[in-house]
């Protein structure tokens, strides 16, 4: 009998010899940039020596890229992988989003986990009564969005006649604080009822908030809550044989390190996410100002970041682009000499909503009112500040950067008042 806490074993696929073999663009997916992502099928030797270490009865095949991506081209590679796994006496479990290909898995996989798109749930549009907390208290009433994403397929009844491998559905939880997640529970219960089969809820690796699996659990096996620790302690065959800790960035400890460090200032989209996570649900990257070069060293040694300097010799401040060897959010880092410069940099931004930073707590331009800025961020209302600005700390291309920033804000639904 395998130990009940024995790790799961997963073979990561990415069928493209170059690029990323997935037709989806999930906001929480950081695999696209991972240097550990394989390209094409791993060797027989690597696969066999990996799966022979597994003490469970099944091996999972998962992305990286989706295992069922362009199945007409990649079917031989997938079948070969399944044959190798079956040949060693294991069952095959496949995680996919390609709902249209499920019928081809009969005889190939024993279990299928179909990932649902996040848009099967919908944020409501309640009044923003409690913006002070940064959380839209009334905006997330149970509001199951029928007909969205993969569910459309379900509702056409095509899956009603499904006779393939054992099927479950899974969803990655949004990166929200626990009170917000708890408010979504009725939606998940309704979703599970509609699906009529097991629903797996996965903790989000991009979440920076503490997670309580007990509080999130439903007390029955129809909805299973999987905390990230299960994945972090699992084993993966990517380009290397590794554990989840080595291959996936857990953003909660990373955020905690940055938010509590006395030499670190955070700004940009990450701070908007801290202030109003339900509105600014995701952050594309993390903007950091460090006053101490040791921060770069620690981000490398503990969190797997490799930094490339973007600035020229003698430039001040120095600009670095950090990519994690684990699938994780990129970091843009400015190295500065003083706290005063860090504050001046943040407090001279073009819009009021950007004059807020995080340095062991929220900091705000002394000319601004924190509650008003939090409200503006929550309501996505930016105001252009026309007064004189200190520009000497900014990048020489700052005007171009600000134009791009404006376009991004508009794309995210901000209104901009002059
Ligand atoms: S999470 Fe899966 S389906 Fe989404 S982009 Fe990443 S690999 Fe593709």
> DSSP letter string over 251-319?
HHHHHHHHHH-TTEEEETHHHHHHH-TTTS---SSEEEEESSTHHHHHHHHHH-EEEEE-SPTT-SSEE
- Distance CA(103)–CA(162), nearest Å, equals 8
Most ligand 1 atoms within 8 A of CB, residue of 30, 97, 173, 175 to mutate: 97
Most ligand 1 atoms within 8 A of CB, residue of 14, 20, 24 to mutate: 24
More confident residue, 157 or 174: 174
| pLDDT 10s digits, 234-256 | 999 999 999 999 999 999 999 99
Q: Residue whose CA is closest, atom 7 of ligand 1?
A: 65
Whether residue 10 is predicted with pLDDT greater than 80 in this model: the reply is yes
How much distance in Å is there from the Cα of 348 to the middle of ligand 1? 38
φ/ψ of 345, rounded to 5, equals -60, -50
pLDDT at position 146: 43
- Residue percentage of the chain with pLDDT more than 90: 70
CATH of 9-247, one of 3.20.20, 3.40.50, 2.40.160, 3.30.450: 3.20.20
- pLDDT bucket at 131, cuts 50 / 70 / 90: very low
- Distance CA(28)–CA(9), nearest Å, equals 22
How much distance in Å is there from the Cα of 89 to the middle of ligand 1? 28
- Distance CA(90)–CA(87), nearest Å, equals 7
Residues in contact with 31: Cβ distance below 8 Å, sequence separation at least 6, in sequence order: 14, 20, 22, 37, 63, 64, 65, 327
296 close to 302: Cβ distance less than 8 angstroms: no
How much distance in Å is there from the Cα of 361 to the middle of ligand 1? 33
Most ligand 1 atoms within 8 A of CB, residue of 10, 30, 31, 205 to mutate: 31
Ranges 141-150, 189-198, 293-302, 379-388: which has the least confidence = 141-150
Whether residue 297 is predicted with pLDDT greater than 60 in this model: the reply is yes
Helix axes 294-303, 251-260, angle to 10 degrees: 160
Most ligand 1 atoms within 8 A of CB, residue of 28, 33, 63 to mutate: 63
How much distance in Å is there from the Cα of 17 to the middle of ligand 1? 17
> E-assigned strands of 131-182?
166-172
How much distance in Å is there from the Cα of 249 to the middle of ligand 1? 16
How much distance in Å is there from the Cα of 211 to the middle of ligand 1? 22
- Distance CA(107)–CA(86), nearest Å, equals 11
Ranges 30-44, 69-83, 370-384: which has the least confidence = 30-44
pLDDT at position 21: 94
Question: Quick one: which atom of ligand 1 is closest to the CA of 22?
Answer: 8
Question: Quick one: which atom of ligand 1 is closest to the CA of 31?
Answer: 6
- Number of H helices and number of E strands within the chain? 13, 18
How much distance in Å is there from the Cα of 115 to the middle of ligand 1? 9
For strands 235-237 and 241-243, give the pairing: antiparallel
How much distance in Å is there from the Cα of 97 to the middle of ligand 1? 8
The three-state secondary structure class of 198 is: coil
The angle formed by the CA atoms of residues 144, 146 and 148, to the nearest 5 degrees, is 110
188 close to 220: Cβ distance less than 8 angstroms: no
- pLDDT bucket at 4, cuts 50 / 70 / 90: low
- Distance CA(372)–CA(132), nearest Å, equals 9
Residues near ligand 1 (Cβ within 6 A): 22, 24-26, 29, 31, 63, 65-66, 97
The Cβ of residue 180 has, within 10 Å, a number of other Cβ atoms equal to 21
- pLDDT bucket at 161, cuts 50 / 70 / 90: low
Asked if residue 278 has a cis previous peptide bond (ω within 30° of 0), the answer is no
Taking the domains of the chain in order of start, what are their residue ranges? 9-247, 251-417
What percent helix, strand, coil does the chain show, rounded to 5? 35, 20, 45
pLDDT at position 143: 44
How much distance in Å is there from the Cα of 331 to the middle of ligand 1? 21
Question: Quick one: which atom of ligand 1 is closest to the CA of 32?
Answer: 6
- Distance CA(321)–CA(305), nearest Å, equals 9
pLDDT at position 125: 37
Nearest one of 381, 368, 176 to 283, comparing CA atoms: 176
Whether residue 159 is predicted with pLDDT greater than 80 in this model: the reply is no
| pLDDT 10s digits, 54-108 | 999 999 999 889 999 999 999 999 999 999 999 999 999 999 988 888 888 999 9
Helix or strand run (H / E) with residue 381: strand 381-383
| pLDDT 10s digits, 311-341 | 999 999 999 999 998 888 999 999 999 999 9
pLDDT at position 193: 86
- pLDDT bucket at 121, cuts 50 / 70 / 90: low
Tell me, what DSSP letter sits at residue 34? -
Q: Residue whose CA is closest, atom 3 of ligand 1?
A: 24
Nearest one of 367, 186, 381 to 276, comparing CA atoms: 381
pLDDT at position 129: 35
Q: Residue whose CA is closest, atom 6 of ligand 1?
A: 29
pLDDT at position 113: 93
Ranges 42-46, 150-154, 159-163: which has the least confidence = 150-154
Question: Quick one: which atom of ligand 1 is closest to the CA of 28?
Answer: 1
Write down the pTM of the prediction.
0.86
- Distance CA(51)–CA(5), nearest Å, equals 17
How much distance in Å is there from the Cα of 393 to the middle of ligand 1? 38
> What would the mean pLDDT of 184-195 be, rounded to a whole number?
87
Tell me, what DSSP letter sits at residue 177? -
> What would the mean pLDDT of 1-28 be, rounded to a whole number?
85
pLDDT at position 141: 39
| pLDDT 10s digits, 262-289 | 999 999 999 999 999 989 988 989 999 9
Residues in contact with 241: Cβ distance below 8 Å, sequence separation at least 6, in sequence order: 46, 49, 50, 235
Q: Residue whose CA is closest, atom 1 of ligand 1?
A: 29
How much distance in Å is there from the Cα of 202 to the middle of ligand 1? 14
Q: Residue whose CA is closest, atom 4 of ligand 1?
A: 26
- Distance CA(216)–CA(212), nearest Å, equals 6
CATH class of 251-417: alpha beta
Question: Quick one: which atom of ligand 1 is closest to the CA of 25?
Answer: 5
The angle formed by the CA atoms of residues 101, 109 and 95, to the nearest 5 degrees, is 65
Tell me, what DSSP letter sits at residue 353? G
């Amino acid at each position: 009998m395998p130990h009940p806490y024995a790790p799961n074993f997963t073979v990561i696929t990415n069928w493209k010899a170059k690029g990323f073999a997935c037709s989806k663009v999930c906001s929480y997916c950081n695999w696209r940039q991972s240097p550990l992502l394989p390209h094409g099928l791993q060797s027989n030797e690597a696969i066999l020596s990996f799966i022979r270490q597994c003490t469970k009865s099944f091996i999972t095949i998962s992305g990286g890229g989706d295992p069922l991506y362009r199945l007409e081209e990649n079917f031989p590679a997938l079948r070969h992988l399944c044959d190798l796994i079956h040949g060693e006496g294991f069952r095959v479990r496949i995680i996919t989003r390609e709902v249209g290909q499920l019928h081809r898995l009969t005889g190939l996989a024993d279990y299928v986990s179909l990932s649902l798109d996040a848009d099967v749930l919908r944020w409501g549009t309640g009044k923003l009564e409690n913006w002070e907390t940064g959380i839209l208290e009334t905006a997330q009433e149970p509001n199951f969005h029928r007909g969205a994403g993969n569910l459309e397929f379900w509702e056409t009844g095509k899956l009603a006649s499904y006779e393939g491998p054992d099927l479950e559905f899974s969803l990655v939880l949004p990166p929200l604080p626990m009170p917000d997640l708890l408010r979504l529970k009725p939606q998940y219960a309704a979703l599970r009822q509609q699906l009529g089969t097991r629903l797996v809820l996965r903790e989000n690796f991009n979440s920076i908030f503490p997670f309580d699996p007990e509080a999130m659990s439903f007390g029955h096996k129809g909805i299973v809550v999987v905390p990230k620790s299960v994945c972090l302690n699992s084993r993966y065959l990517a380009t290397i044989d590794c554990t989840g800790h080595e291959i996936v960035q857990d953003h909660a400890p990373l955020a905690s390190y940055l938010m509590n460090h006395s030499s670190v200032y955070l700004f940009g989209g990450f701070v908007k996410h801290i202030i109003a996570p339900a509105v600014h649900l995701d952050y594309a990257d993390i903007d950091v100002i460090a006053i101490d070069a040791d921060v770069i060293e620690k981000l490398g040694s503990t969190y797997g970041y490799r930094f490339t300097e973007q600035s020229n010799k003698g430039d001040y401040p120095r600009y670095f682009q950090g990519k994690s060897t684990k699938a994780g959010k990129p970091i843009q880092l400015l190295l500065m000499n003083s706290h005063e410069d860090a504050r001046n940099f943040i407090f001279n931004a073009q819009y009021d909503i950007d004059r807020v930073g995080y340095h062991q707590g929220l900091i705000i331009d002394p000319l601004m009112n924190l509650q008003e800025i939090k409200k503006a961020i929550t309501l996505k209302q930016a105001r252009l500040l026309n007064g004189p600005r200190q520009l000497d700390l900014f990048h020489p291309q700052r005007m171009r950067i600000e134009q791009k920033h404006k376009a991004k804000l508009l794309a995210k639904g901000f209104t901009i008042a002059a």
